[in-house]
A and B are shown apart, each in its own frame.
Chain A
């Protein structure tokens, strides 16, 4: 059974940093593109970042470029999102999701809440 478990969310002040992790199991992690998708409270979905199987290619939403860094450790079956210079508008539930966009995001974690507030 595919499982994706996010961690690392919490309350942080504007300008602060957080590192999200997503532990994957139940599939060959190194064979899949992985993604971070966020959802602000009461709002819709927004694809934040993606990374290809070996980490050779990445994508970032314009509003997070230069502040967020996606990475993966295939030996640990773990996806990461380093978030720096956080802003109030980054407040959201952050989901990790499996799969290339062309095939749809077939599996999602339960999400981790990031709140940016003073």
Chain B
């Protein structure tokens, strides 16, 4: 069964550095998402992406965050200048259709640690 893959599994970075989290969604999926989970807290929506543009973003997704689908297969999340509070597990997800009609497939996550 095809899976959403995320790399790296763990990223350690210093405060103020830029990080790029990478995701390869399932190939025939059209809807892409990033969620994050700070340790001990709930999974939170960051952004949804469809037809090469952001369709929705949360208050967390400020100017320090950006997403891109540079080559039709990868889907990246960039944090321009990381803060300590960005430390979290970041999950990429993709869906063939809008959520509710078909399952959303999640990746294994990237654990980001900002020191």
Tell me if chain B binds chain A.
no
